[in-house]
Structure 1
Amino acid sequence: MRIIAFYSPKGGVGKTAAAVNIAYLASRDQVATLLWDLDPQGAAGFYLAGAQPVKGRKLSRLLEGKAPIARFVHDDVYPGLDVIPSHPSFRNFDIRLNQDEEGSHSLKKLLAPLSEETSLVVLDCPPTLSRLTEQVLELADRVYVPLVPTWLSLNSWKQLQAFVKSQKLPAKKLRPYFSLVDRRKKLHRELTESSDPGIERLLDVAIPYASVVEQMGEQGQPLEVLAPNTPAAESFRRLWQRIREDLW
């Protein structure tokens, strides 16, 4: 089982859209995929209309060993794509992890029962620097970091690098890529077209800013279903190919 995460310390950078679209594309390529929405805002549920949390299935029951992880999984939201939707109780995830001194409820142990039937886990992570972030960075085989080509977003990238270094986490797992690129803007063009933007391990894929991506939430569908012939859909297909080449 391979595990990837989409993470950024800055919100509003297209992280969830990428996680949903990559999870769907992986499942379409016959890769048994689980998407786990770890963000308590639950945006992935808007992009996948069939993956709303079931009432009463709180994270606390999972972390206390009172319910197996399989009870939280929505099977086959699309063929080959299972989803663990977010729940408001996920806001307490960090508190629970900090209280778990023996690590008996770490993300790795929580996911272990699903390893036989799942080839790829996609984690959609909240924009925080926390214990949960540390576990994701420790656990994931790769962490894909969307960067809007602005100085503020690039500063968040530097903050992430500093955090990784301070916690002695593996920086080599980080895979940044440009997201929400608007080529009408000079800075966006300059940064994305630069031969050396100064970002280590930057993927050669840029996800454009596109209104059709926003429509994913309205329609409750991944882009490959909603609008497969758009430049945005093609950019996500290229991103998935880079990810697949990187993992296997």
Structure 2
Amino acid sequence: MKVVALHNLKGGVGKTSAAVNLAREANRDGMPVLVWDLDAQGASTWVLGGENGLGRKVKKLLAGKSPLGEEVQHTAWERLDLLPADLRMRELDRLLDSASGGDKHLKRLIAPFSEEYALLILDCPPGLSTLSDQLVRAADRILVPTIPSPLSVQAFSRMMDHLDLGKRQRQRVAPFFNLVDRRRKLHREWLETPPAAIAPAMQSWIPYASDVERMSLECRPLADLAPRSRATLAYRQLWQELKATL
């Protein structure tokens, strides 16, 4: 099983839309996929039609004392499943800090899912945290949606400074431009020549599109909501680029 995390220091950069749409594209590609919504806001859970809240106590689940697999929900798409968000996940860092597995606890926690799924996508909350540190151990790729703006690049640099990665670990982190508006000169320029601070960035990029906003209204990924839209095709291309690196 491959593990892909969507993470960023900043909020509002499109982590959830990327998580949901990449999951659906992988699912369309024939892969059994699980999305774990780690953000207490529960946006991925909402879009995929899940029910917020884990049935068992979160503390026991994250300690490995209760099986996470029993909390998985099926979605409307065959072989695309969901581990839903829970408001109590706002205490995630404290719970991970107190776990006995050290910085590999998250990796050990998700290992049993490899028996059923080919891909696990983690929709992570924003910020620098214990979860951020454990993602380096648990994820094969950490995708970082990045709006083409100086503040977004600064946030990416701060995230990388916090993680303090070795050369091989750095290769797991893959920023890509999201919410791109080609009417803006800076966006066009950075598509041609990305800032050195985020190199190497992925070649694929996602345009700003109203269809993405409609996802939360109709609770469907773009492949089903607007199969021919520019954003849908862009996510399809991003998935193919990602798949080639996994």
For the aligned residues, what is the CA RMSD?
1.9
| SS class of match (1:162) | helix
SS of corresponding position for 1:144:
strand
Q: 1:234 maps to which residue?
A: 233
In structure 2, what residue type is equivalent to 1:150? S
Q: How does 1:1-248 map to 2 (within 5 A)?
A: 1-49=1-49, 51-54=50-53, 56-103=55-102, 106-165=105-164, 170-194=169-193, 196-198=194-196, 199-247=198-246
Structure 2: where are the runs of 5+ without partners?
none
- State the 1:22 CA deviation: 0.3
Tell me the TM-score normalized by structure 1: 0.92
CA gap of 1:41–1:101, structure 2 versus 1, over 3 A, is same
Distance of 1:20 and 1:134 partners within structure 2 = 23
**In the alignment, is the contact (CA less than 8 A) between 1:25 and 1:237 conserved in 2?**
yes
Q: What letter corresponds to residue 183 of structure 1 in structure 2?
A: R
Deviations 1:107-146 (A, max 9, x none): 1222122211111111111111111111112210111111
Contact 1:137-1:169 at 8 Å conserved across structures:
no
Cα 1:217–1:166 change in 2 (3 A) is same
TM-score by length of 2: 0.93
Q: Report the 3-state secondary structure (helix = DSSP H, G, I; strand = E; otherwise coil) of the residue aligned with 2:160.
A: helix
User: Residues 164, 30 of structure 1: CA spacing in aligned structure 2 closer, same or farther, 3 A cutoff?
Assistant: same
Q: How far apart are residue 78 of structure 1 and its match?
A: 1.1
Q: 1:75 to 1:171 in 2, by over 3 A?
A: same
Partner SS for 2:97 = helix
Cα offset for 1:64? Answer: 4.0
Structure 2 distance, partners of 1:167, 1:42, is 32
Cα 1:139–1:56 change in 2 (3 A) is closer
Aligned length: 245
Contact kept? 1:138, 1:169, Cα under 8 Å: no
Over the matched positions of the two proteins, sequence identity in percent amounts to 42
1:245 positional shift: 0.5
Is residue 42–residue 52 contact of structure 2 (8 Å, CA) maintained in 1?
no
2: CA distance, partners of 1:56 / 1:138: 27
1:240–1:102 distance in 2 versus 1, CA, 3 Å: closer
CA contact (8 A) 1:2 1:121 kept: yes
Moved more, 172-181 or 105-114: 105-114
State the distance in 2 between where 1:96 and 1:245 align: 34
Cα distance in 1, alignment partners of residues 173 and 62 from structure 2: 27
Separation in 2, partners of 1:102, 1:138: 12
In 1, Cα distance between the equivalents of 2:18 and 2:122? Answer: 11
